[in-house]
Amino acid sequence: MSEQQQFATSDTEFETQDEIEEKKRIKAIFAGMESKQLDFLDEAGKSMIERIATFLTVLFAVTAFGGNFSPTYLKTNPWEKYLIIAILFCYILAMGMAIFAIQPRSHPRYRYQIQKMAEELQRMITRKKRLVQWAGILFALGTVALAGLIVAIILPL
């Protein structure tokens, strides 16, 4: 018997049935997560779009707080105008990224080449993951800026 085979059998000899089942359970969890990763990223993108739409509503409510469109607190403080523009930029860019992440598109089909299929799947996951991550970062920045805007309106300096 080779040395590698001896290690493999000696490892399994010391494992209890509970440890073996725990390893199987963990492998099954990770296999399930991997098989559902595209669906998860699509749902994350949809959720991001919903949250952005909600916070855009809050932003529009804050900017139209007064009776006439350009409230006095926006006329007197130019920083709040720039903050609103930055918030809109973050939210619109984040929404665009989230929409692009869930946008249906055609992919090459390699019916008989498993390695090429695996590479294409990895490219799809990487692209969706990157877009959703950046959408989340921009959403967070926009939300922090929105909170800053609300504080600046409530507590004028």
How many domains is the chain partitioned into structurally?
Answer: 2
Q: For 16-57, how does the pLDDT look when each residue is reduced to its tens digit (9 = 90+)? A: 888 888 888 888 888 887 888 888 888 888 888 888 888 888
Q: Supply 98's token pair.
A: 């989230």
- Closest CA relative to residue 63, chosen from 38, 30, 91: 91
Lookup: tokens for 32: 């399930």
How far apart are alpha carbons 19 and 17 in whole angstroms?
Answer: 5
- What does the pLDDT read at residue 2? 47
6 and 20 in a common domain:
yes
60 and 16, same domain (yes or no): no
Contact 134, 98 (CB under 8 A): no
At 48-97, the pLDDT tens digits run 888 888 888 887 777 665 455 556 666 667 777 788 889 889 999 999 99
CB 71 within 8 A of CB 21: no
Q: What is the pLDDT of residue 144?
A: 93
Q: Which domain holds residue 65?
A: 37-154
- Say whether both 76 and 106 belong to one domain: yes
| Residues contacting residue 69 through CB under 8 Å, at least 6 positions apart | none
Give the whole-angstrom CA distance, residue 83 versus residue 50: 22
Same domain, yes or no: 59 and 104: yes
Both 29 and 11 in one domain: the answer is: yes
What pTM does this model have?
0.69
